[in-house]
Amino acid sequence: MSASRGRVCVVGSFMMDLVVSAPRRPRPGETLVGTSFAQYVGGKGFNQAVAASRAGAATSFVGRLGDDLFGAEFRAALRTDGIDDGGVLDDAEGGTGVGLPVVEPGGQNSIIIVPRANLRLTPADVERSRERIEAADVLLLQLEVPVEASLAAARIARGAGTAVVLNPAPYAPLPPELVAACDLLVPNEHELAGLAGAPVPADGPEAVEVLARDVLGRHGVSLVVTMGATGVLVLAADGASSLVPGRTVEAVDTVGAGDTFCGNLGARLAVGDALTDAVAYANAAASIAVTRHGGAPSAPEADEVEAVRRHLEIAG
């Protein structure tokens, strides 16, 4: 692992996750008895920032929190993980965002989010943190804040030579100018289908690559497509592709696993790793995260990921 410390800036969301475990999702009109409840700090932006920081990156955050108890809990969590929160604004009118995941046996989840203050992040808020974005090696973006704010951040980063990595989740149609400002898109199979305007591929990595090449042809941007246990498809802007294999583990909770992947990917790209190497590292980190509960809490420390990487090298 590189001795240098890359710099990552995250412009994104906070969601207090109120997590219910249940034998299945309830049917319309049905009251279902769950098996457990837990509360975790989360949100795609926050989870990615925590993951990047634990991977060793000097990490800063730009976003909005409610001026409430959840907001105070997030402030404490940011500082605990050594994340610069100078770009995080307190919003007296919009409360802190909340997420309501339902986790089924085997770790699969469905989530309802109520973004609240996250939707009040503006391009002007982003502009106030211009120096943080310009100083970063990698900017991480998602779609739980207004697209106008993400576009403002991407334009600042593009002008400064900061690499822009967009995780298009939860999926929404993207303005062409935002895609044009990105260096890398990191969708899962469902989000890739949205980008391609096609059904979700059901025939394995080959079908996924067909869709990924369609998106590449339209936008000319590199893609990293996460496919769970199947692995990760890497498709570079020059058309070269590779498959990073998945790691078989006993998953207990997939909430935040994609965010752990993105945060670790950003941290490794920030220290200059080649894309495929950064993907392999991030994939190992995500395989650890799914064996734990919670979004941000499940993100591993760098030494844990290194231990898994050594084991995989020995096994290989």
Annotated binding-site residues for ATP read 188, 226-231, 258-259, 283
**Tokens, residue 108:** 């699969």
Residues making up the binding site for substrate: 15-17, 43-47, 144, 259
Contact 8, 278 (CB under 8 A): no
Residues making up the binding site: 15-17, 43-47, 144, 188, 226-231, 253, 255, 258-259, 283, 289, 292, 294, 298
Residues making up the binding site for K(+): 253, 255, 289, 292, 294, 298
Q: 259 catalytic, yes or no?
A: yes
The edge-to-edge listing of strands for the beta sheet with 36-42 is 36-42, 15-21, 98-103, 109-114
CA distance linking residue 49 with residue 263, whole number of Å: 6
Pairing of strands 138-141, 163-166: parallel
Choose among 302, 259, 308, 267: nearest CA to 109: 259
Which residue among 85, 183, 259, 273 is the active-site one?
259
- In order of 22, 98, 155, 244, 268, the CA distances from 228 in angstroms are 22, 25, 31, 11, 20
Going 39 to 146 to 47 to 292, the CA torsion angle's sign is positive
| Active site positions, annotated | 259
